[in-house]
Chains A and B, each alone.
Chain A
Amino acid sequence: MSDITWGLWELLLKGVWITVQLTVYSAALAAVVAFGIGLARTHPRWIVRFLSGAYFEVFRGTSALILMFWMFFVLPMGFGWQLAPMWAAVLTLGLTYGAYGSEVVRGAIAAVPAGQREAGIALSFSPAQQLRKVVLPQAWPGMVPPFNNLLIELLKGTALVSILGVGDIAFGASLVRNATAQSAPVYTIILVMYFVLAFALTRGMRAVERHAKAGVGQAPAKRSRLRSATGPAVTGTAARAEGEAR
């Protein structure tokens, strides 16, 4: 490890920064795609469901690596302009992981009890209001853990971009390996780096999950529920008086 000079460390740390940027941009695009396609897949019109379903199947079923090559090498032939490698990568990862994410969104929306929608109808909310005020806020806590998985998959997936010469962690590692002619130290180091980044993401997403659960009344403290379940039996107007007293 002593063979790795400060200059080489700098290369790796710059790589970390590029990996973080790639993750953030791709995740932002993936989130937009996931909600857009996920909601479209629950749309009442069949044509909207069909098109969004087709998107999902195509992007789930193609290799991200090949898609990235396609974006970078084939797209320019058709359109006459070349994406910067970084953006070809962001586009590929965003569209691919967005497709996976759409399944999470669709599933979480389907898991909201039908009674909630019926209550929304009974109160004459418009479909958009039902979605915004009732369905999405309740579906959201269920989306966070699978989104965390996808986010970590995405982080690790960013390593693909080193093939296009984008200077991420994996690219930095290959340079350091060439410079030092040793594989073990540098690959061990970047293994740890990816783990640390993934761990940081998980901690962040746990906080998001706690916040999301608190937003539907599933905060850690469940005392009052226990108390009412085991409290003395109350009947008649006494129940209402008891309601007042608490």
Chain B
Amino acid sequence: MSAEHSTPNTPPTVGDGANSGETELIHFDKVTKRFGTHTVLDALDMKVFAGKHVTLIGPSGSGKTTILRLMMTLLKPDEGTIKLGDRYLTHEEKGGKLVPASDRYSREIRKNIGMVFQQFNLFPNMKVLRNITEAPVHVLGLDKDAAEERARELLELVGLTAHLDKYPTQLSGGQQQRVAIARALAMRPQVLLLDEVTSALDPELVAGVLDLLRDIAHSTDITMLCVTHEMNFARDISDCVMMFDAGRVIEFGPPEQIFTEPENERTREFLSAVL
């Protein structure tokens, strides 16, 4: 990193635990991820307290989505550790030593994390209602009736009650994405990861999905990590915006600061290109 960049002196920390009951939920400790010789994330340190909403911005290939995928255990870090609360997500302790987590262990921890994908990834072989109830019933062991009741409430929240008996292919992109949001929420996650959730939508369907996410951000205490190019949305929901470039956080802060008076030249360039 060259000197003219105003790099943060302290690792990004979102929330300070000053409010009672606020606990550190996500902790990246020197996380490095490489694809071949290309370093996507370079010794990333990051702390997010429970209930905070963090938006990750930056040019494509800067490592934003990699953070979400590491968090969801879709990728494994090459170096460093990630903790969720006081438990490791990427590693487990065996005989006093940290070893890479087994699939069974990761599965247990990641029940607390939900993810909404750019391409929705609804299960086309299940109708809308079953898309939402399947994991609560078969992973959390919820009673089927209870899961269905919860799914109906969530479908009401996302405005799709009339579509519960349809297959995903019978819905528009925006509707599918709202079902995907309901599906993620049905697991009652502590952390919700949003990976460019409106990028694959027709322009006229974007606002509906963003409105729904604003509702969720303002009415729940779910911690959110969000990768988006919708800067107005980021401004509305975020406690913190982190600007990534070349695998590092080059600037972070409250949205009003980042969007109105960014300090870093790269941030300014990026924002003038997207705003």
Residue in B closest to A122 when the chains form the complex, CB atoms: B115
Contacts A217-B124, A218-B169, A239-B207; is A123 near B134 (CB within 8 Å)?
yes
Residue in B closest to A221 when the chains form the complex, CB atoms: B170
B-chain residues with CB within 8 Å of residue A237 when the two chains form the complex: 208, 211
Q: How large is the interface on A (under 10, 10 to 19, 20 to 34, 35 or more residues)?
A: 35 or more
A119 to B107, CA, bound (A): 13
Contacts A123-B183, A127-B103, A235-B207; is A216 near B167 (CB within 8 Å)?
yes
A245 to B107, CA, bound (A): 38
**Binary A-proximity of B229-260 (CB < 8 A = 1, otherwise 0):** 00000000000000000000000000000000
Contacts A115-B119, A122-B114, A244-B162; is A217 near B139 (CB within 8 Å)?
no
Q: In the complex, what's the smallest C-beta–C-beta distance from A125 to chain B, in angstroms?
A: 6
Q: In the complex, what's the smallest C-beta–C-beta distance from B35 to chain A, in angstroms?
A: 15
A-chain residues with CB within 8 Å of residue B159 when the two chains form the complex: 239-241, 243-244
A239 to B206, CA, bound (A): 10
Cβ-based interface call for B171 (8 A): yes
Cβ-based interface call for A178 (8 A): no
B-chain residues with CB within 8 Å of residue A134 when the two chains form the complex: 123, 125
Residue in A closest to B118 when the chains form the complex, CB atoms: A115
Query: Which of B93-101, B172-180, B264-272 faces chain A?
Result: B172-180
A-chain residues with CB within 8 Å of residue B168 when the two chains form the complex: 217
**Binary A-proximity of B68-81 (CB < 8 A = 1, otherwise 0):** 00001110000000
Do A215 and B138 have beta carbons less than 8 Å apart?
no
Query: Which of A14-22, A70-78, A85-93, A225-233 faces chain B?
Result: A225-233
CB within 8 Å: A-B pair count: 120
Do A129 and B138 have beta carbons less than 8 Å apart?
yes
**Binary A-proximity of B127-139 (CB < 8 A = 1, otherwise 0):** 1000000110011
Cβ-based interface call for B163 (8 A): yes
Cβ-based interface call for A62 (8 A): no
A125 to B136, CA, bound (A): 10
A-chain residues with CB within 8 Å of residue B135 when the two chains form the complex: 123-125
Cβ-based interface call for B152 (8 A): no
Cβ-based interface call for A148 (8 A): no
Q: In the complex, what's the smallest C-beta–C-beta distance from B125 to chain A, in angstroms?
A: 4
Question: Which of A216, A229, A245 is the one whose CB lies under 8 Å from B162?
Answer: A245
Cβ-based interface call for A133 (8 A): yes
Cβ-based interface call for A23 (8 A): no
Most chain B beta carbons < 10 A, residue from A127, A218, A246: A246
Cβ-based interface call for A224 (8 A): yes
A219 to B269, CA, bound (A): 49
Q: In the complex, what's the smallest C-beta–C-beta distance from A209 to chain B, in angstroms?
A: 15
Do A236 and B161 have beta carbons less than 8 Å apart?
no
Cβ-based interface call for A83 (8 A): no
Cβ-based interface call for A234 (8 A): yes
Do A124 and B111 have beta carbons less than 8 Å apart?
yes
Do B169 and A243 have beta carbons less than 8 Å apart?
no
Cβ-based interface call for B146 (8 A): no
Cβ-based interface call for B121 (8 A): yes
A237 to B125, CA, bound (A): 28
Contacts A137-B125, A216-B125; is A125 near B138 (CB within 8 Å)?
yes
Cβ-based interface call for B87 (8 A): no
**Binary A-proximity of B104-119 (CB < 8 A = 1, otherwise 0):** 0001101101110101
Contacts A122-B184, A129-B138, A243-B163; is A236 near B211 (CB within 8 Å)?
yes
Do A217 and B169 have beta carbons less than 8 Å apart?
yes
Contacts A134-B123, A243-B160; is A234 near B110 (CB within 8 Å)?
no
Residue in A closest to B116 when the chains form the complex, CB atoms: A122
- The residues in A between 23 and 53 inclusive whose CB is less than 8 angstroms from any CB of B are none
Cβ-based interface call for A96 (8 A): no
Q: Please name 7 further chain A to chain B contacts, defined as beta carbons within 8 Å, in addition to the given A134-B125, A215-B125, sorted by A numbering.
A: A115-B119, A115-B121, A121-B74, A121-B110, A133-B138, A240-B211, A244-B162
Residue ranges of B at the interface with A (Cβ–Cβ < 8 Å): 72-74, 103, 107-108, 110-111, 113-115, 117, 119, 121-127, 134-135, 138-139, 158-163, 166-172, 174-175, 178, 183-184, 187, 204-205, 207-208, 211-212
A–B pairs, 28, beta carbons within 8 Å:
A118-B74, A122-B74, A122-B113, A123-B135, A123-B187, A124-B110, A125-B135, A133-B134, A134-B125, A137-B125, A216-B125, A217-B127, A224-B166, A224-B170, A234-B204, A234-B205, A235-B204, A235-B207, A236-B211, A237-B211, A239-B208, A240-B159, A240-B212, A243-B163, A244-B159, A244-B162, A245-B162, A246-B162
